[in-house]
Structure 1
């Protein structure tokens, strides 16, 4: 059952096992002899043992030897051989145990060594698993960030364009394609100049180049041209310049907001609050301004003046030269009035040849009178239209809106109107202060 080859290999381990088994068997044989000597058995049994002592001793020795060999064989099959195979695999590996060769020693040392090695492998595995998990999380985070950036790029309502240093479009989002009415494949790798208003670009080219070269960014209003209907599309544009330090590649990112709706709203608001003939603020804008002045007056307690200006004998111009000539006179008069007051003051057309000026502040009466005289002086200058010399004069009524009076807008305009009529009664071309 047990070959000499098996015993010759791993002799150190077998030697320790054999010595321990021999001590055990000697101890068993000694116990048996003690039991015999101490008459533990009956006299008949002892007599039988004594008569057959040689046979019994031989049988016991043979039995113990058989048990010894069987135990050695089981130990060799179940324990020693697997350890030898593990030992061989470990010794042949270049990376495990730092190329240290394991020599067969006692069982305890081998177990300690294998346990230590298993712990090292387990720690390395756990580190690898942890590092792999961290790398996976980082990779997932990068992928998530890329997906988020791509989603923002594709779903942004703003126009996003990426161009290279030569002005060639390298990437563009669907908003630009939709705005221009052009498919993506007809835009990509095309010069951006093909899609913009050349005249508008010439106006901003110098400032654009200067800002991008110095601060690497530029922003402002700019027009592009629709491919199909050739209409200009107003945009608010933000351009940033990026330089790749590794290979010195230059790219530009362009983010633009379509101002068409905003411009249209501004146009409608302007039409709603301005006189279409003279472009002066109309009655609606005048009412809003007076509301603001009265609201500010409650806290600042300042005084402002309202001038009611009416052209004298304007009907005669319409009758003698026609309404077209009259409209041209009103336009020129509006420009004169606009230039005769401060930019912070307001001039509005109330109706026909009636105008309103708001002078704020009006703390010094002399300054208000000086402004009124300047208005009349400018209006009295002759107007030349198609070689026709037209003389215009005006009557002016001035009313001061005091902070301690609780007055409405209609009351203020009515008082200024009364002052103007008093100026007409006084002989026209003069100034009357109501209060």
Structure 2
């Protein structure tokens, strides 16, 4: 075999190629690594900035909602007081309103307006007697709980102390019904706008690590009602406002009207399921350059370090490549001499020993052996090629057959996949339109699925709760540990203890309100574990109805006092407390003298009014800890507790008699009549016999009546 040595173009040396390749690879790796570091640094910096701004927007939103709901709850509590629901004088109602104002300094004015629109009572007597029937809070508050946007007020602002900032208020109002459910008046709380400014001042100083953070509160039309100096009463048009008004909460990078780019977090206040909402939007923004300043400052030293590492790597790779390729260069020169000899039978020229590179010696011996075996390998290759062609033809036929089978299997799988997708769509439609809330949980209590009814019941959207632990959203902190323990027990028992059963639980919705629900829980095993499926049915209204019916069953419908059934329960509890505390308790059996004559002479309507006034006078002239109830007809019972001796009961009766002798002003007449009082005292060592105690008081009352007292009836 003769080797020719054709003339070829000069090629780059291997030393240069390896050096350049290694240097380029190292440089590329360094640049890619630095790029990734820079990318993730910026990404993490932006994510942290967005999360911080979102936390501020959510905190501001939740605080605004909580303040409005607190005002509504105050109205709910105050309107139930008899001084507000049935006031005798404006002074009586004003004391309650001023006590509420004292406990809440942000309440600039609290007023009770009659149904005709005249202010009946107000804090510091401000606006009393004024006609406010044209005010929005009065008209809306007649039918429901109402919260109005902040506004300047001229009438009230003139009566309040002046300042550099004009008085602005947020109105919260609600109806005050009478015992028959008819509108008696409207109760309004006007909150000074200063509480919102103080709220921002307490929130923003806590963000000292984040510079130039600005907070805006906007109306629905985009008008700034709270913001940095010079922005209030201007109109904002931004992407974040549009997203917030669509009902979402999050953050976005956007350009504002000043031409700068900001990271802006957004959230809406209010809840459609809550009475009295303020439809505001909270925006928290920070300049993009400020938010990303940390990442930008880190970018320059990273690039400098990367360049330095690339240069050092190139120099090291060049030195290493030259050292490694020196023996190969020597072997290449020997092979060139062998090819120039034009004689295949001649042995290869001897290769100088390479002490540092044993592989070069092995390579020279392998090349000689390779030439000798080349022909043998060519013959074997021809035979192998013939057999390979036959085998390839056979395998081709087999592959064609298997391809047809595979095509059929794929078609069947595609049909099955489409059927599964249709079934999944049907199941999703059923779950989304189910009457009960549906929640799917993994073994750790993390939400996997959530239908529309669950969104309506608990307030969170499906996208917000997927992947979140259920306990942290719907359970108070004190109950979460018990919930986690129960979930572990259910997983271990396979759910046998709760299958086919409905369990009653109390949960919290997104607004923090308590909900009573019935829960049906199912345990679903899977190949990779298991999951829990829960159906929740809201029974809050049913529980409230039962509680209302139970309360009505214990109240006298005419006077609103506890009835006979409630009195027996209260007397039993009072005797138990007296025995436990080793103190006396007493029972007054009170009967109106000559009530039947009043009833017969002036009619049952006047008689009922007399009983109501008599009941109110009894209740107003005993201690708050004492119990007053109507037994039947004109018979009333008073339960006194914590008495040191028997004389304390007699002293109370002596104080009560003059109050009962005062004239009763009815609709058509005025009457003065007395009452007979029978007293029975229970001592800690006396028998626990309620009927006997009432009998003693009854007999004492008749003895008091038989003694006779001067009475007169006056028109």
Larger helix proportion, structure 1 or 2?
1
The structure having more radius of gyration, on CA atoms, is 1
Per the normalisation by structure 2, the TM-score is 0.31
